[in-house]
Structure 1
Amino acid sequence: MWTNRYWQAEFWTLAFIIVVMGLIGSLFDRAAACIAVIIFGYLVWNLIQLSRLYKWLVKSRALYPPSAPGIWGEIFNHLYVLQRKNRKELKKLKGIISEFRASTSALREGALIISNQGEIRWFNKASEKLLGLKASTDIGQRLFNLLRHPSFIEYEQARDYEKPLTIHSPADESLILNIHITPYNNDQRLVMIRDVTERYRLERVRQDFVANVSHELRTPLTVINGYLEVLDPDMYPELSKVEKPLQMMRQQALNMGHLVDDLLLLSRLDAKEPSLGGKPQLIDINIMLDSICAEARVLSGEKSQTILFHSHSSATLTGSEKQLRSAFSNLVFNAVRYTQQEGRIDIFWKETQNHLVMTVKDNGPGIEQEHIPRLTERFYRVDSGRNRSQGGTGLGLAIVKHVLEMHDGYLEVDSTVGKGSEFSCYFPKSS
């Protein structure tokens, strides 16, 4: 609004001066010369004001603008108001940045901002400790040149940041770091680094405790089983009165033995023992599943269940035959235990575009949806009474999950109450 008003005033002032000087010049027959002089003087005056503006904006550190009449005075004043507003915004922004730096400096987790090419743009103090970075030399460097761990380079190149990466710290081998990358703003990535050494130490303590307790339980169980075998009512008729309690004791001792075996297997899977299951080998899954089906029919016994194996692929897997047999048999035997008499169990070996899939499908009672996410938790039971009566340990699906992870696979469960369940093991074709 003000620009129109002041430009109009400037225009009419210049026009008035030109008219007056033109009239005066016409008295001496020099009207054109007088008008030219006025226009030239006006141009020089504007160039002087432009020079003053340039010096104030670029070279001078003065807060207040130079004074000038007319439109130039308004231009100086308007720029001064904008400059003062920008200074306030800049001061506010600096305060926010200072608070951000102070808060990130207090974080125990390391935080870095890198470009899509991996150039470090910023990091906090925790990153210096966890990764051994130095602000004076490493800003602008590529993170992948400083952190040369092969797993980290593969993790970054894959650009699959759904799961974090766990590696040892390059600054201190005793530290175990959890790294998670989050892309944002199309050309930047936030790298969060957490020290999970204590968590891994506690996990190791738990694994050792379970393994040690399981080993210690084996000796008394062996003794108990030995005496229970001796206490046979056929050999000692006087024991016929306690035959039923003895049978229950034998069954519970057998269940305890299965539990100890499963705990030991889980401990070894947790520890990722290289000797577990022997060296990786090429496995004919069709032969393995056919054998497991035969065992399942024996386990079914009087239930008269229909157990069928459907092979739709001749593909093989590379891995531990012992581990995979344990995982697949857990799924098949679970289906046998929990499917009703004369029920149907179908085992499939097939392949999709990207995966090899082993599926166990039954028409049993099914599982409610609320239980499915927790099925692979240790000792989690959908129905604790039924599970115990069938001789389950509550560790079978936990073992399946660990075995699949060691073979780069995963488990999917689909179940409908009253219609049955479907457990599918997915393996990448490259495995």
Structure 2
Amino acid sequence: MQKKLMATYILIISLTIIIAVLFCWHMGNKYFKDTTLKYTETKGELLTDILANEAEKDRLDFSSFVDEYSSKSDVRLTIIDVDGTVVADSDEDFRIMDNHIYRKEVSSAIKGEIASNIRYSETIGAYYLYTAIPIDIKNFKGVLRLSLPLIEIRDIAVDMIIYVIYGILIGAVVAVIIAYIVTRKFMQPLEQLTKAAIKISEGNYNEKIYIRNKDETGKLAEAFNDMTVKLSLNMWKLEKRNHEFECVLSSMINGIIAVDEQYNVFLYNSKLGKILDIDTDIVGKSIYEIIRNTTIFNVLEKSIEQNEYIVDETVINDKIIRVYANPIFAPIRSSIKNMGTLLVIRDITDIKKLETMRSDFVSNVTHELNTPLTSIRGFVDTLKNGAIKDEKVASRFLDIIDIETERLTLLIQDILSLSAIENMEDEKNNNVNNMASIINEVIEILNPKIKDRKINVNIQVNDDITYNCNRNRIKQLIINLTDNAIKYTEKGHIDIICKESDASIIIEVSDTGIGIEEEHIPRLIERFYRVDKGRSRNMGGTGLGLSIVKHIVSLYNGKIEVDSIIGEGTTFRVLLPKKSSVK
């Protein structure tokens, strides 16, 4: 900015100098010419008077006169008669000179006028000022012409112009220096404003300008400082609002994507990327480039066309997705403008699985309950129809009814246990418990079954291992694993190992039983899943034992692992984090 102002000042000064020089040159020339003309006319009139006096005394000699007075007056003198013939000249031989009748100043003087003219003299080879004065003396009538070269006048004018230029240049230098100082002083506040504005544009909203001037720049600086304070406050509010908005979006369990009228994305949240496996920025891109699913396109387009809420379900990347589409309206003055469409994408895979599990659970529970109830009802009807009179038959039927009743009791207890675990009942009653003590209690409870199966149980646990947990839950976990091992081990032994690592308590229950085929291992913890249904029922299993184990492990954020070899045995390994809290 300062360079532009200085350039403007220099241009103005330069134009002023040029105009001044041209004006001085013109006026100087005119002044000197006018002065010289008046001087020659005055001098000519004096010479004509002298010439008249000489004629009165009869001493008139034109050649002698022009020679004498030419040197005295520093001019060239020429005397011409009325016919234009040169009769005397101070510088040239008058006898060889041309007739001057047609010279402008001579012809005017012959007519009785004092005339002057400037022209180039071919004889002398320079510009001359010619002044002709009419003379009418004794025995002669003609013209006295004075010739003065203009070289001296030009030299005087040039010298004058040079001095003028020197003066103007000195004044111009002073003016430029003053202009620099003035512009510098004027530009300093503007430079501060510019630097502050640049910093603000870079995000530094705390920049201030300190100018003490009371003029317009001072008022501008004060207004600028007020603006930065308000701008900083507004940006803080805007950033806070944006941060809150982003936090709300990122905290949503559903994927959000908003598209404009051209189907270009202008808003989305991080959950969308997790649901649809998108790991790049998609703002500004067309939704047709990002998602390739006909159902989503149909929902989107139908919502835009019908201008209403639409919902549908589809499958993307093995995930069951529910898509909600709703137009985005923005009130503009008295009308409402459609800005695009908002898509809410929800992953309902787990919900669908849960619904399936619940449906299967109800079906399985119904089946599991119906089997013993049907058996009990059948035997009761048989007894009512007369079998009760036969003591042996009645006794056998009553034993079967007792077994089926026991099965119903165990099934109901397991269902209630699952419900209690899922509802997290009594899960706040955690204490530091000794793992060796819990395992010994389990062995005491299951000791009748162990003796009946004639199986050896080996326990490996340090007496100092403790775990912060609900004692009954961990006991139930070990009971279910050990009971399961007893059921499927016909001979051999069972190993119960409890150890600890830096991060976890590890519980292993291994048997030398029949083993499990690898294809069944992923489904072992499902409710009512049995590898051999007939064998499981005959052994009194409800099909919920391992599912209960899985839920207890999940309560403590743990993991369960299964290793099995057909004919050699199975190992269940439970890892419970030491620092984990109940979910």
TM-score, length basis structure 2: 0.37
Structure richer in strand, relative to its length:
2
TM-score, normalised via structure 1 length: 0.48
